[in-house]
Amino acid sequence: MEKIKKDKLKELFEQLAWMSIYVKRYWWLIAIYTFTMTSGSLLSLGSTVISRDLVDAVTASNIQTISSVIFTYVGVGIGQLFIDVIRTRISLKIQLKIQNEIKEDIFKHILQTDWEALSEYRTGDLLYRTNGDAGMVAKSVLTFIPTVISVFISFFSAFWIMIKNDYTMAIISVMGAPITLVTSRYAMTKMREYTKRNQDFSSNKMSFDQETFQNLQMIKAFGLIPRFIDNFHEVTQESMKISLDQNKFQSLTTIITSLVGQVIGYACYGYALFRLWHGDISYGTMTMFVGMAGSLRGSFSSIVNLAPTLIRACINAQRIIEIITLPRERIEDDKKAKKILSIADKCGVEILMNNVSFWYQEGQSVYENACFYAKPGEIIGLLGPSGQGKTTTLNLLLGLFHIRKGELKIGNPGYEMIDISSATRCLFGYIPQGNILFSGTIAQNIAMVKSEATEEEIIEALKTACAWEFVAQLEEGIHTSVRELGRRFSEGQKQRLSIARALLANTPVLLLDEATSALDMATEKKVLKNILKRDPLRILIVAAHRPSVFSMCHRVYRVQDGMIKEANHDEVQKFLAGDE
């Protein structure tokens, strides 16, 4: 138990330290916000004191005093109005600044995080942490310190005024504090549980929504609409149950604290009436006592409620910290990789995989002691059954996964070779199985890999990929809208657009993961020949199943049964014929 407490305390300090980074960046804005918030609280107390003078002046029929007090009362009210407007403006500015900065930091960290570590998290979960958690932390960073200062000043100011006027009334006003403290201590533990449960559920809910809409075509195709409607109903019911459970607990604690507050309020009111009945105080003083007692109770409740606010902020912060502390991608060889790229157009590159072993974090082995070699101008084929490691091999070359044993290197022939990592990714072009296209125009999709590309360069890449023949027929040409996931194009068209994008990057190695599977054999051969003609030194590494691809390969490597080994012509034909 002692170790658990120490770990939780350590976590709390880490969370507070992380949030303090943003407090330091905007301390001057937070200071102004604190000042306006405190000023508003003090003006509120001042209006309560002035109300005493107003009531006394009215009951004494003192016209001159009434006029001056009314003038002061109105002035205080107008002052509060302007302060509230200023505070709201500053609040919005700080919250937006902090929220955007936190979102940008999270977004940057996610993009730079090691892919293997990040793949443990669902997309919807990452989206919620980037948006939901970031927004809540920003709000907490903005409001917590100003609220603490303002509430404490308000509480002690009200208590001081009460002590100066009536010591007994001041004591009665805070008699409910012990009960409130005991209740809040229990409530904090439960609130932490409910908050964590709520945040985790919100992440899962966003993941469900994101996956549903992203795969809507498949859902429709398999007739799964009723099932997903039922799943959505279950999700909404779970959301309602969590909210109702939390509300039930909050209602019980509210009833307890409210009853205590009412009892104390009645006691204060009764004591004030007793003093008035004996002629010890005026009507105005009684009004001030009742108002000040209410301010004291409200301030104390606000102090107690600061703890749950801090708990919620810390839970949100912990969820963000969990993401931004994941291992980052290796970039130490970035300069060496760029040097290799700078002379690749003259001499190309070579790739060496020597006695490589790889297994996933779960322990599933893909292959042991694998060997592989590619030199400039070669087309290398990867052959093997689905799920045996072809795509994994491409991911290793891209530095998305990391070998466990052996060596995997790249370099210019005759020069120093370096380990393949995320830093060497600039040497590879990649066409994935899914032919991923983004919302925007064709030109924006193609030029994504080279922002300064001219229209002529884009068109040239489209021609090499045999895509210009259908793009040219579109009414808006390369400025035609692609739509989400490229839904307006056929699979073959999307493949050719993806190939054009990779070609525009002009990398010395091109990885094709079933990237020509939707093309007819004539177009497939034409595309591959065009690619090599465009750059005779470029290496093409193709993962495929079709004989037409392997007939063009200089070498074919078989990825199967935990091994990568070179296959001869007969072995390739035998595999493609389905004899093994």
- 461-500 b/e (C-beta count within 10 Å ≥ 16 → b): bbbbbbbbeebeeeeebbeeebeebbeebeebbbbbbbbb
In sequence order, the β-bridge partners of residue 572 are none
Q: What is the mean pLDDT, run by run of 10 residues, along the chain of 580 residues?
A: 59 78 78 77 69 66 66 70 77 79 85 84 83 81 75 74 75 68 63 74 80 75 79 83 77 71 72 77 72 67 69 83 85 88 91 89 79 90 82 88 90 91 89 78 88 89 89 87 78 86 89 77 83 87 80 85 80 65
Q: Is residue 136 located within the same domain as residue 283?
A: yes
Q: Is residue 343 located within the same domain as residue 318?
A: no
Which structural domain, as residue segments, surrounds residue 422?
A: 334-576
Q: Is residue 250 located within the same domain as residue 345?
A: no
Q: Which of 324, 354, 388 is the last residue of a domain?
A: 324
Residue 564's nearest CA partner among 349, 352, 350, 375 is: 352
Alpha helix segments (H runs only) across 222-349: 225-277, 283-324, 334-347
The reply to whether 354 falls in a domain is yes
CB atoms within 10 A of CB 258: 13
Alpha helix segments (H runs only) across 411-564: 442-446, 455-464, 468-471, 491-504, 521-534, 547-550
- The phi, psi pair for 552, rounded to 5°, reads -95, -5
Q: Which of 295, 324, 353 is the last residue of a domain?
A: 324
pLDDT of residue 579: 45
Q: What is the CA radius of gyration of the chain?
A: 35
Q: Is residue 43 located within the same domain as residue 97?
A: yes
Residue position matching structure tokens 């309560």: 48
The reply to whether 329 falls in a domain is no
Q: Which of 284, 301, 324 is the last residue of a domain?
A: 324
Q: Is residue 205 located within the same domain as residue 113?
A: yes
Q: Is residue 166 located within the same domain as residue 129?
A: yes
pTM surpassing 0.75?
no
The Cα–Cα gap between 497 and 437 comes to: 8
CB atoms within 10 A of CB 382: 26
Instruction: Report the domain count for the chain.
Output: 2
